[in-house]
Structure 1
Amino acid sequence: MTFDLYGFGPALAAGTLMTIKLALSALSLGLVLGLLGALAKTSPYKPLRWLGGSYSTLVRGVPELLWVFLIYFGTVGLMHAIGEMLGRPNLELSAFAAGTIALGICFGSYATEVFRGAILAIPKGHREAGLALGMSKARIFWRLILPQMWRIALPGLGNLFMILMKDTALVSVIGLEEIMRRSQIAVTSSKEPFLFYMVAAFIYLGLTILAMIGMYFLEKRASRGFIRSAA
């Protein structure tokens, strides 16, 4: 085993950075979609509840890999049409953008249920207290509901993010040069599959540990007021 990884060390480092960028981008999109989905599912309006339920059911019922393919290849015609309108006939969705959208949609569908459960766990008396104080519904949501929902949802969201971090490997099938794609290229060149796949495994493990540490501090910070009041 060589310590310079046959010269592929910098390539694997670049792949790791790409994985982190993809995971954080998909996380940002997924949190927005998950929050909107949860608000729709807990809405008093039936069409919104139907829309939120359809989103979470449809997306969770299809494997993430298929969503990557559907987003990447399914937008070819649409992007070409937009490109012709803009005078750029070769316009296409990049592998990074397709991966972000696909993984963000999938993360959001699961986050919808996490946020929904967190919203339902908040006592109705808190909303009634806000109304009694003359607060608007928007202010009640931002000042009373959202902070408590965030605290309750954090453990579930942390688990989903760790799954998302590993699901970024799926985007290698459409050519994005993240950890797995870089490892596959290194294996093809060096004929050392065990070495490079083991290195990839340790990289994913390291990223997961860092994510766990980050979630620990986020949960600790979000629970500060709750812990003081409980004491």
Structure 2
Amino acid sequence: MIENVLEATGLSALSFYGFGPLLLKGTWMTLQLSLLSLVVSVVLGLVGASAKLSPLRVLRLPAQLYTTLIRGVPDLVLMLLIFYSLQTWLTELTKYIGWDYVEIDPFAAGVITLGFIYGAYFTETFRGALLAVPKGQAEAAIAYGLGRSQRFFLISFPLMMRFALPGIGNNWLVLLKATALVSIIGLADLVKAAQDAGKSTFQLFFFLVLAGLVYLFITTVSNCILRRLSRKYSAGSREALQ
């Protein structure tokens, strides 16, 4: 199939494989960035959801402001603002302390930026999932003498995941595609690698289609994993409804 595509685009296998290492490196960069950003997003999402459900107003208001601001501003604008703001703040801090100039690593900046942005979406996903957990489950756990952490990890978290997985899957797929924005801060992700290869060979269309197929493959594998997780966390629920 690949050979047919190569012949249709007029690009030989030799020239394609010549850019193979560049494309593989870009794909690996995209995967690392996506997975690490997902971890940051999930952590922020759990913290944000807990804050929004807290009875304390001092916790609810910042969490509400966070989700409202992030979801209301385009990702590209947020990425530029956060990346350059971090660099500016770091420069001012080092100047105040008297240290030498420190430049933020673009990869670390990309992970923090994407994690911070999509943490707002995960906050709403987890908040809705936690609200969907029957209160009687927590009350029963308290009656059995389980502590707060035990109630969360043994009762609330597994039940919450049953309701949160559809939203988690959607957020993950959007996050994966959003990694294409990191090229603006100097990272050589899959899209940047495809652009460079296409411009070098005057076959930009071919390499962009190839990049799209790689994204499609990753999302297909992700959907398979998400279906497995959904079956795992839904075990017993179908039988209970019958």
Partner residue in 2 for 1:23: 34
Could you state the TM-score of these two structures normalised by the residue count of structure 2?
Answer: 0.88
Rounded Cα–Cα distance in structure 1 between residues aligned with 2:227 and 2:129: 18
Rounded Cα–Cα distance in structure 2 between residues aligned with 1:85 and 1:213: 51
Any conservation in 2 of the 1:68–1:98 contact (CA below 8 Å)? Answer: no
Unaligned runs of 5+ in 2: 1-10
| Post-superposition offset of 1:11 | 0.3
Unaligned runs of 5+ in 1: none
Any conservation in 2 of the 1:40–1:52 contact (CA below 8 Å)? Answer: yes
Rounded Cα–Cα distance in structure 1 between residues aligned with 2:195 and 2:93: 34
Change over 3 Å in CA distance of 1:9–1:227 after alignment to 2: same
Rounded Cα–Cα distance in structure 1 between residues aligned with 2:169 and 2:76: 21
Match of 1:46 among 39, 44, 57: 57
Moved more, 70-79 or 203-212: 70-79
| Post-superposition offset of 1:204 | 0.9
Identity of aligned residues (%): 40
Change over 3 Å in CA distance of 1:91–1:224 after alignment to 2: same
Any conservation in 2 of the 1:6–1:190 contact (CA below 8 Å)? Answer: no
Pairs within 5 Å for 1:68-147: 68-83=79-94, 89-147=100-158
Rounded Cα–Cα distance in structure 1 between residues aligned with 2:178 and 2:127: 23
Pairs within 5 Å for 1:1-231: 1-4=11-14, 5=16, 7-83=18-94, 89-227=100-238, 229-230=240-241
Displaced runs of 4 or more, over 6 A:
none
Secondary structure of 1:224's aligned partner:
coil
Partner AA of 1:67 in structure 2: L
| Post-superposition offset of 1:139 | 2.4
Tell me how many residue pairs correspond in the alignment.
231
Across the aligned residues of Structure 1 and Structure 2, the Cα RMSD in angstroms comes to 1.9
Rounded Cα–Cα distance in structure 2 between residues aligned with 1:111 and 1:97: 20
Could you state the TM-score of these two structures normalised by the residue count of structure 1?
Answer: 0.92
Any conservation in 2 of the 1:22–1:99 contact (CA below 8 Å)? Answer: yes
